[in-house]
Amino acid sequence: MSHFAKIDPETNLVTFVTVGRQEDDGKELELSERTGDIYKQTSYNTYAGVHYTTNDEGEYVPSADQSKALRFNYAAIGYTYDEARDAFVPPKPFDSWVLDETTCDWVAPIPMPALEYDETGEAVESYEWDEAEGDWVVEVIE
């Protein structure tokens, strides 16, 4: 099963994502020619340029076959299709964040601090970006 993103030709914004069958390499072109709309295939399991799969323990891990990574990120409504990078780029979360060219994802100007965990492996805190402060704010999880 394949997923296809409909692209607004004027803004390059994703306006719709649909499921279809991938029977051969010409599916995007065939769909676009049939409907008159612009569609690009997107990979449900691709994030920041890496294709993921589920291992035997049920963990989401990078696939052994990275040829399945498609257009850097799974498309969603509001994402932009960047034709030059052949990538789906998520909306910019904050003005101060910059696009990482290798992952096509946004990064904060300051890396998020490492999380702390209790003896059971549960996180005891979380972080949220504060744009006004230009820094991460810690929130203790009770």
Global pTM? 0.81
Q: Note the pLDDT tens digit of each residue in 21-37.
A: 665 455 566 666 667 78
Dihedral pair phi/psi, residue 83, rounded to 5°: -65, -40
Indicate whether 103 belongs to any domain: no
Do 82 and 5 touch, CB atoms closer than 8 A? no
In the prediction, which pLDDT does 61 show?
Answer: 97
CB atoms < 10 A from the CB of 34, how many?
Answer: 9
Report if residue 9 sits inside a domain: yes
100 in any annotated domain: no
Instruction: Let me know whether 90 and 112 are in one domain.
Output: no
Pairing of strands 98-100, 14-20: unpaired
- The answer to whether residues 71 and 140 belong to one domain is no
pLDDT of residue 140: 82
- Same domain, yes or no: 82 and 125: no
Contacts of 22 (CB under 8 A, 6+ apart): 1, 2, 41
**Count of helices and strands (H, E) across the chain:** 1, 12
Range of the structural domain that residue 17 is part of: 2-94
Question: Looking at the 3D structure of the chain, how many domains does it have?
Answer: 2
Co-location of 84 and 113 in the same domain: no
Residue 6 sits in the same domain as residue 52: yes
| Interatomic CA distance for residues 19 and 4, integer angstroms | 6
SS3 22: coil
Looking at 56, 72, 94, which one is the last position of a domain? 94
Residues 87 and 22 both lie in one domain: yes
| Spatial distance between the Cα atoms of 116 and 138, rounded to a whole number of angstroms | 11
57 lies in the same domain as 18: yes
Residue 29: what pLDDT? 60
Residues of the chain with pLDDT under 50: 24
Answer whether residue 7 is part of any domain: yes
| Whether 115 and 60 share a structural domain | no
- Percent of the chain clearing pLDDT 90 (strictly above): 73
Do 86 and 141 belong together in one domain? no
Interior angle at CA 117, CA 115 and CA 122, nearest 5: 115
Residues 35 and 83 in one domain: yes
On whether both 36 and 84 belong to a single domain, the answer is yes
